Amino acid sequence: MIEFKGVSKQFGSTKALDNISVNYSRGKIIGLFGPNGSGKSTTLKMIASLNKPDSGEILIFGRKPSKETREIVSYLPEIDYIYPWMTIKEAANFMRGFYGDWDEGKYKELIEFLKLEPDMVIKKISKGMRAKVKLLLCFSRNAEIVLLDEPLSGIDILTRDKIIETIIRDYRVGEQTIIISTHEIQEIESLVDDAVFIGRGQVILQGEAEKLRNENGLSLVELMKEVYRNENF
Ligand SMILES: Nc1ncnc2c1ncn2[C@@H]1O[C@H](COP(=O)(O)OP(=O)(O)OP(=O)(O)O)[C@@H](O)[C@H]1O
């Protein structure tokens, strides 16, 4: 389990996370939903140990975020972080050197599946292809925790399908914990076991996706609209 206990984070006068307490279950795919600026990226960066809380505690399978927990976390950031002048092969070499859980077999299989070429120069390929490169590098590791920050943002529908297919294909049920932050609930609704809705740095609603749907008689997309309308977002 990934636990947030009374976690707060402030940037200037903005409360990105406001005394948030929430658990993300181990071995599940969890959708982290919320409008712009609700604290989704801040949450993922904290689990990736790239950001520290001002107060409160985070425990990742019982351990505080650190260099050690970073080794079991594969993080796909919202922004393009890969050095643009690198080829895909060079970016992969870079990652291989960093992470002991790099899986060369998986990398080779995925690069073919995603129809990417090792010699492609990252700055010369399209945004959709760069999204695929980020996914390739993220899923070429056998990480216990996978954090995907807006993996579908700005991506065309066919590429989106391919990305969703990749997530489903490579997910190790029960062994891997995947947290997907997105506005595009509709597209990932069928993927997620649990949903966490946040707003203004606080949890608005959370639970098992199936239970939330049955209890409310609504899809997660409809539920999100309802929840945020009532909360005046
Ligand atoms: N490094 C930073 N410096 C200043 N403000 C920040 C920083 N990081 C986040 N914030 C602010 O904290 C709030 C939460 O940001 P965060 O990126 O976590 O939201 P988000 O839910 O991921 O938003 P989006 O869906 O737009 O990506 C926002 O108001 C944002 O402007």
Taking Cα atoms as reference points, which of 94, 49, 52, 98 lies closest to residue 69? 49
Q: Express as a percent the part of the chain with pLDDT over 70.
A: 98
Q: What does the pLDDT read at residue 156?
A: 81
Q: What is the rounded distance in angstroms from the CA atom of residue 216 to the CA atom of residue 127?
A: 37
For the chain, the average pLDDT equals 91
Which of 8, 9, 11, 233 most suits a substitution to test ligand 1, by most atoms within 8 Å of the C-beta? 11
- Please tell me the distance between residue 134's alpha carbon and the centre of ligand 1 in angstroms: 21
Query: What CATH number did the domain enclosing 9 receive?
Result: 3.40.50.300
**Ligand 1 pocket mutation pick from 10, 14, 46, 75 by most atoms within 8 angstroms of CB:** 14
Residue 81 has pLDDT above 70, yes or no: no
- What pLDDT, on a 0 to 100 scale, did the predictor assign at position 114? 87
Structural domains in the chain (count)? 1
**Ligand 1 contact, 16 CB (< 6 A):** yes
E strands along the chain, which residues? Answer: 2-11, 14-24, 29-33, 55-60, 73-76, 145-149, 177-182, 194-199, 202-208
pLDDT given at position 52? 94
Q: What is the pLDDT of residues 36-70, one digit of tens each?
A: 899 999 999 999 999 999 999 999 999 999 989 99
pLDDT score of 87? 95
The domain in which residue 89 lies consists of 2-230
Asked whether 39 lines ligand 1 (CB < 6 A), one says: yes
How far apart are the C-alpha atoms of 197 and 66, rounded to whole Å?
Answer: 26
Does ipTM exceed 0.90? yes
Closest CA to 192 of 227, 162, 148: 148
Task: Count the helices and strands in the chain (H runs, E runs).
Answer: 9, 9
Q: Compute, in angstroms, the gap from residue 221 CA to the centroid of ligand 1.
A: 22
Concatenate the DSSP letters of all residues of 96-132 into one string: HHH-TTB-HHHHHHHHHHTT--TT-BGGGS-HHHHHH
